[in-house]
Each structure stands twice: as structure tokens, then as C-alpha cells.
Structure 1
Amino acid sequence: MSSFFGLDVAISGLFASQRSLDIANHNINNVNTPGYSRQVGVQKATRPVGLLDGTGMVGTGTEITAVNRVRDDFLDFKYWSENVSFGEWETKSNAMEDLEAIFNEPSDTGFTTVMDEFFASLQELSKDPSSEAARASVKQKGVSLCKYLNSTAAHLQKMRDDNNYSLKIKVDELNSYTRQIKDLNEQIYKSELDGNAANDLRDQRTLLLDKLSKLANIQASEVVVGKLPNGKEDRRFQVTINGSYLVNHFDTYELETFEIDEGSHRDGMYGIQWAKSGNEMIPKGGELKGYLDVRDGNGEAGQYKGIPYYLEKLDEFAQSFAKTFNEGILKDGEQHYAGHAGGVGLDGSVGVRFFSYENKSSAQLVENGYDKLTAANISISSDVESDIYKIATASVGGEAGNNGNIASLLELRHESKMFNEGAPEDFMKSLVAMLGVDAQQAVRVSGNQENLVQQIDNRRLSLSGVSVDEEMANMVKYQHAYNAAAKMITVMDEIYDTLINRVGV
């Protein structure tokens, strides 16, 4: 045993305390770094040596054998599995809020107000069928009703286009994350070949996975594929989606968007496919699924009721209302009223339709059929547009004051057999109520998922987060240990000085 054995023991304590202070310093400086995990030094006693006389073993000091990050992999996996659902329903919740704003019911500018004003103008005209002012008002209120439907449909389509573009942006964002994860895999792998742990790089990779998990239903794992020359395990990091690789260690498999052309309501929209194989990828969760459901969901066969569903319902209203008002044909396909076409205008005209599409004439509407009419293109007919005397108020010709037909048209406002839901206002109230229910569900599920994700994240932070108070206490503890080791060195120095320089003098 060396004569300076005691000095070596004291120095080991000095170095260990200094390393522990460096770790605490690093933790404190990263207290506000997103994704940072608290690091701790693994300190243990060095290997003792046996005494030559066999009376026992004596300790040789201490050392820091590793610096580990405090992390619970189970909480990370749980966070990712819940975050994917949060991403999906947060997207849907935001979309439902936008849909409610588009329909804007109840309000002074919503459907109920527009419909009230239209039938109120008809009521005024029924009082004096020969009044030009009343006829002009009916024409204008009819235009307003059409423009409300046109505007609502246009806003829905614009919202759908916006969601389609957002889908592309999110796919590009996902590819950016996967490329960064691949680069970090390379850095981590090279940094850990000598047995050290690349803690800060692993924290950066975990933060990227947190963001990635909100976009799509990913699975991440680190697998052992063999042994390194130094005997350590050869680990490879993988990220998959639907069982296919997004990242396989040093390789990335990117996604891309393509324009759909399949003859469905998705034509012209973006689909998602694997860039290398061209196979379509359908996400099962996350923001990507949220955007797809909102953009494409038509409510059929259990699908989500997204923008197409509300567009189709709006088209159904426009088509059925126009057909009933024009022809007197109800939901059962039978003619129960004379309709506008069955009345007589002030100029003696008959067979004129009040509503059409794209300002086409009554003749063009009849020739092409009501299947061409949608909420986006409904209008008053060019006949009425050009001549308000063609508004059919009378039930028979030659009677300027006859209001028999307009009285029949007024009954349509409360005709319960016009739609399955009832009268026109009942249809729209049912649609808005359904939208409200869907919006409440999206908000409720999104809120529940957000709380769950936040709870898991709080558990992660309680374990991995840096507490300044705790680190300050550690600093005091390590400083005292450092001072004690330094004092031991001073004492040993005095002993050796006396032994070497003064003994025998």
C-alpha cells in the first residue's frame, strides 16, 4: 500500500464532489429548458484493497460511475398514447367552433332571421298583390335567402379547403420531426459507443416524440440488435406508424400528400401516402386523423359528421325547399300545393319558378332538373329577376287583387311534411342542434384528454423536472463534502510534511 494512500482517498472524494456540483449546476441552468430531464450522478465506493496481514480490507475512496437522467419510460409511452387522442379531438373541437360560427344561430343575421324576413315580405305582398314595392321586397328577400345559403356553403367549402391545406402542413411537419429524430439517433449512437449516456440528446429526441405523438398514432421503441465490440448492447431506435417505419435508426421513411382522383367527394383533396412505395397511409389518430375526419366525414356508416355532412344537409334543404316552393311537391314526392309554378303572375304568366340555380330561367331549371341545384348555387330564377310582375300571387288569371296562390305559399312556412324533421325552420333548428351536440362532444372529449395528458405530464415533471430548491440543497451538501475532502488533503499534507521534513531532525 502506497505511503500516499490516504491522500489518494481524499482526492477521490474531492473529484466526486466537484463532479456532483457540476451536475447540480447543469440541472439549475436547464430548469426552464423544454423536455429537459433532471440528471443525477451515480456515486459508489471504489474497490477496496485487502491488507497484507489478512486482517481485512480498507476502502480506497469514491467515484462517479455514471450520470443518468431521471426518466420513467412508462410515463413517456403513456403520454404518447394519450396525446394522440388529444391531438385528434382538439382539432375536431376547433373545427366545430368554426362551424358554429359559420351557421351563426341564433343571431340577427342567421337563417331564422332571413327566413322570417322572406315570409314577412310574402305576407305584405298578400295584402296588395299589385304593389310594385311589395313585389320588389319579395324579390330582394328571396335574393337574401339565396345569398345566405350561398355564403354559408361557400364558407363551409373554404373551411374544408383550409383543413385540406392544414393536412399538408401537418404532413410536412411530421417529416421534419422524423428527420430531426434520425439525426439525433446518429449523434446518440456515436456518443454512446464509449459507454457514456447522451442524456441531453435523448431529452431532445423525447421532446420531438412528444410533438410527433400529437400528429399521428406513433409507436417508439429502442431494440437490442446485438453486441458492440466493447461488449455493450447495440441498440437501435425505431418509430413506426400503423406498423410501418417512420424512423429506423439512421433511416427515415417520409410521407407525402397526393391529389385524390377517385370519383368520390374527396376528389381534388389531399391523401397521405408513403413517399417511397406510394401506398396510401390512413392515420388512426392524432391531428392528421382529426383533419381528415373534419374534411371528409359525411356521417355515413358511422363516419364522423364533418364538413361534407353539413354541406349535404344544406344542399338537401336548398333543393327540397326550392322544389316545394316552386312545384308544391313535399318530401313524399307528391304534389300537395299548386306551388309558385301553379300560380299566375300580374302579367298573366304561368309556369314560372321563383327559385332556380345560377340565375337560370324556369325552362332551364325544368330541363336540367333540381339535382343541379345546391346551397352554393341556388338563386331566384332569371324570370323573376328580370320581371317582378312574374311573381305568381294569384290562383287564377285576370284578377289583380287575387292573392290565393301567395296565401298557399305562406302555408309552406309551417308545412311539417316538407322535411323529415318538419317545417323549414324545424329542419335548420335540427341541423344547428345536431351541430351543437357534436361541438359539445368534441369540446368535452378534448377537455378530458387535455386533462389526462396534463396529469401524465405533471407526473413526468414531478419525477424528471428540476427543482431549484432541491438542487440548491444538493449544492450545499456537495460543497460541504468538497470542503471536507479538501480539509482531509490539508491534514494529510501536514502529516506528510511532519513525517518527511521533521522526523529525525
Structure 2
Amino acid sequence: MNSFFGLNVAVKGLYASQAALYTIDHNISNAETSGYSRQVTSQKASAPLSTYTGSGMIGTGVDFISVQRVRDEYLDMRFWNQNISYGEWNAKSEALSELEAIMNETSEDGLNEVLSSFSSALEELAKDPDSEQTRAVVVQNGDYLCKYLNNAASNLILLKKDYNSNIKVKVNEINSYASQIRDLNEQIYKSELDGSSANDLRDQRDLLMDKLTCLADVRINEVDAGTLANGKDDIRLQITLDGVSLVNHFQVNELECYTIDEGSEQDGTYGIRWMKTGNEVEFDSGEIKGYLDMRDGTGEKGGYKGIPYYMEQLDHFAGVFAKAFNEGIYADGTQYIQGHAGGADSDETTGIRFFTFDGKSSDELMKSGSDMNEIYQNVTAANITISSDIEDDPGKIAAASLSGEDGNNENINELVNMFNDSRMFADGMPVDYINSIVSTMGTSAAHASRLASNYESTLNQIDTGRISVSGVSLDEESANLVRYQQAYSAAAKMISVLDEILDITINGLGAG
């Protein structure tokens, strides 16, 4: 044990306190940095030496080991698993809110209200079937009904296109996150070959995985690939999607969107496949799954009820309502009344249809198919219109049941009564059918909102736990700052004292 032994012990304490102070400074600087994990220094007492008499051990100071980040991997895994489900149901909740806004049934401009206005206009015409002004009002309200359905269908189509575009954006985000994670894997791997901990790089990678798990049902694992030259385990990160590796340490398997053109109802929409193999990717959850279900969900065979389902419901309403009003034929295929075509207009003409599609005339409508079913399959929510015959001449509204009878309103009364006929749709009256659509949509929206809220609440709870472990407390760091500052000052004072002792000893002996 040499004369400078005490100085060595003090210097090691100085360096250890200095490292702790630098780490505290780093924590305070990043207190508001997203994804940052609090870091702490790790140190231990140095190996002691035996005294020269062999009667005991004397301490040799402190050894600085490393700087470690404080992180709970179990909470991270829980967060990522919950985040996958949250991404799916949050996307569905927002999408169904948009669908409800399109149907607009909570306002005075909803389909029920428009239908009621049309029925009221017909009732007014029944009171005065020869009134040209009242006939014009009927045409106007019939046109409002058609335009409402046209607008709703158009908005649904636009919404479907928006979700289709969102899918491509989200796929590109997955590729971007995967590439960034791959780059960070390489940096982390190289930085930790000497046994160090790449804390800040790992924080950046975890933050990217927070974002990635919201998009798709990925599975994240760190696997042991052997032993490094320094004796440590060779740990490598793997992220899989649909059973296929998305990120495998330094490699990325990218996704791509392609336009479907197989002749199905999905023509023009994006499919998703692996870029290298061309194999389709199946999503079980995540934000992309939410958008896919909303874009493609037909509700068939227990499937999700997305935009195609509600479009089909509106199309069914338009076709059945037009056929019932024109022909008196209800959803079950039975003719219960003679319909508009069976009545007579002011010119004693019969056979005129009130509703058609794409502004066609009554004759053009009847030539569009070989039978009634085929004809009215052409009528959809997107194209239903008033026939050009009625549009050009409101006098062709068939108010009378027979020609040549002034003031005859029997046919218009039958049409008015049709609105309250429970046989018209399988679900009952027109208003019942509409309410059935709205109720289904409302139930789905409430279910999605409830699940999104539940998952969000769980996420927040888990994240609060993560923050309590990894977050930076400025009060705690300030206390540590004072503690290590005092330790640093004490080590510096020890050096000063030892220096003074050595000076007196060496220089005093020399002076003698």
C-alpha cells in the first residue's frame, strides 16, 4: 500500500459522484422528452486489500459500474398488447360516429323527417288533388327524399375511399417504423458489444413500438441468439405480423398495398401483401383492422357491419320503396295496392312511374329489366330520382284511381296509407326499416365507443404505472443533485486534506 493510496480512493469517489451528477443533469434535461426513461448510476465498493499486518481488510473506495435506465418490461408488454386492441376499436368508434353524422337522424334533416315531409305533402294533395301548387310541393318533397338518399350514398362512398386511403397511409407508417426500429437495432447492438447500455437508443426504439402496436397486431420478442465474445447473451429483437417476421434484428420485411382488380366488389380498393413474397397479410386487430372492417364489412355470416352493409341497407330501402310506390308491390313480392302506375293523372293517363333512376322516364325504367325484380334492382340509394315524366309535368301525378273522375283522390290516399303499412318491408313500415338501420348503427357505435374507452382507460392506467417507474421526478432529481454534490465536495475535500498531509510529510522531511 503506497503513500498515494488515499488519493486513489478519493479520486474514485470523485469520479463516481461526477458520473452521478452528469446522469442527474441528463434526467433533468429530458424530463419532458417523450418516451424518455429515468437513468441511474450503478456503483459498488471496490475490492478491499489486506492490511500489512494481515489482521483485517481496508476498503479501496468505489467502482463505477454503469448507467442503467429504469424500465419495467412487463408494463411495456402489457401496454403494447392493450394498444393493439385500442387502435382497432378507436378507429371503428370514430368511423361509426361519422356514419351516424351522415344518417343525421338526430336532427330535423334525417331520413325519417324527409320521409315524413313527403308523406305530408301527399296528404295535402289528397285534400285537393287538382291543385297544381300542391302537386309541385309533392314533386319537391319527393325530390328531397331522392336527394337525401343520393347524398347519403355519395358520402358513404367518399368515406369508404377515405378509409381505403388511410389504409395505405398506415401501411406506409408500419414500413417506416419497422425501418427505424431496424436502424436502432443495429446502433444498439454495436453500442452494447462492450457491455454498455444504449439507454437513449432503447428509449427511442420503445417509443416507436408504442406507435407500431397501435397500427397492427404485431408480436414483439427478444430472442437469445447465442453468446457474444464478451460472454454476454446475444439478444436480438424480433417483431412478427401474421406469423411472418416484420423486423428480424437487422432485417425488415416490408408491406405493400396493391389495387384489387379481380372483378369482385372490392375492385379499386387496396389489398395488403408482403413485398418480397406477394403473400396476403391478415390483420386480426389494430388500427388497420378497424379501417378494413369499416371499408369491407358486409355483415354476412356474422362479419362486421361496415360501410358496404349500410350502403346495401339504403339501396334495399330505395329499391323496395320505389317498387312499392310505383307498382304497389311490397318486399314480399305481393301487390297490395295498384300503386302510382295503376292510377290516373290529370290528363287521364295511367302507367306513369313516380320514382326511377338516373332521371330516366317511366318507359325507360320499365325497359331496364326483364321483370319487376330485375327492373328495381337498378334503383339504388345513389341513383334514385323522380321520373322525368313527373319532373317535367307535376300534372302526371296519379292522384285518381280511375280516369275521368274530377276530385278522385282514392289512389293518392292508398299511397299515403302505404307509409303506415307494416307489410311494406320485412321489418315493418318504412319508418320501422329506417329505425332498424339507425338502431343497428347506434348499437355498433355505442359498442365501439365503449370498448375504445375501456381500452384507453386501461392504457392510461398502465402508462401511469410506466411513468411512475420510468418518469423523471424533478423533486427527486433535485434531492439527488444535492446529495451527490455533497459527496463530490467531500471527495474533493479529502483530496485536499491528503494533499496537505503529503506536502507536510514530504516537504517537512526534506527541510530537516
Contact 2:332 2:426 survives alignment (8 Å) = no
Q: Structure 1 counterpart of 2:8, which letter?
A: D
Deviations 1:117-169 (A, max 9, x none): 21111112112222211212111111111001000110111111111111111
**1:492 has 2:510 as partner:** no
Deviations 1:406-450 (A, max 9, x none): 111111110111112211111112211221111111111111110
Correspondence for 1:358: 358
Q: Distance in 2 between matches of 1:8 and 1:339?
A: 106
Q: CA deviation at 1:77?
A: 0.7
Q: Structure 2 counterpart of 1:109, which letter?
A: D
Correspondence for 1:277: 277
Q: Distance in 2 between matches of 1:352 and 1:262?
A: 40
Correspondence for 2:377: 371
Q: CA deviation at 1:238?
A: 1.4
Q: Structure 1 counterpart of 2:164, which letter?
A: N
Q: CA deviation at 1:64?
A: 1.3
Q: CA deviation at 1:269?
A: 0.9
Q: Structure 1 counterpart of 2:201, which letter?
A: L
Bigger drift between 128-137 and 25-34 goes to 128-137
SS class of match (2:377): helix
Alignment of 1:195-274 (within 5 A): 195-274=195-274
**1:417 has 2:423 as partner:** yes
- Runs of 4+ with >4 A deviation: none
Bigger drift between 37-46 and 111-120 goes to 111-120
Correspondence for 1:312: 312
Contact 1:344 1:392 survives alignment (8 Å) = yes
Pick the aligned partner of 2:393 from 373, 387, 390. Answer: 387
Pick the aligned partner of 1:482 from 488, 498, 507. Answer: 488
Q: Distance in 2 between matches of 1:9 and 1:411?
A: 102
Q: CA deviation at 1:400?
A: 2.6
Q: Distance in 1 between matches of 2:107 and 2:487?
A: 72
**1:177 has 2:177 as partner:** yes
SS class of match (1:338): coil
Correspondence for 1:446: 452
Contiguous gaps of at least 5 residues in structure 2: 370-374
Alignment RMSD: 1.2
Q: CA deviation at 1:263?
A: 3.4
Contact 1:106 1:112 survives alignment (8 Å) = no
Correspondence for 2:82: 82
Alignment of 1:42-53 (within 5 A): 42-53=42-53
Contiguous gaps of at least 5 residues in structure 1: none
SS class of match (1:229): coil
Q: Distance in 1 between matches of 2:481 and 2:290?
A: 48
**1:10 has 2:10 as partner:** yes
Q: Distance in 1 between matches of 2:476 and 2:446?
A: 43
Q: Distance in 2 between matches of 1:294 and 1:56?
A: 77
- Percent of pairs identical after alignment? 55
SS class of match (2:419): helix
Bigger drift between 387-396 and 472-481 goes to 387-396
Correspondence for 2:372: none
SS class of match (1:41): strand
Task: State the TM-score, normalized to the length of structure 2.
Answer: 0.97
Deviations 1:232-283 (A, max 9, x none): 3222211111221111111111111111233332221111111111111021
Task: State the TM-score, normalized to the length of structure 1.
Answer: 0.98
Q: Structure 1 counterpart of 2:236, which letter?
A: R
Q: CA deviation at 1:225?
A: 1.0
Q: Structure 2 counterpart of 1:477, which letter?
A: R
Q: Distance in 2 between matches of 1:400 and 1:279?
A: 71
Contact 1:125 1:138 survives alignment (8 Å) = yes
Q: Distance in 1 between matches of 2:410 and 2:397?
A: 13
Q: Distance in 1 between matches of 2:45 and 2:291?
A: 57
Correspondence for 1:114: 114
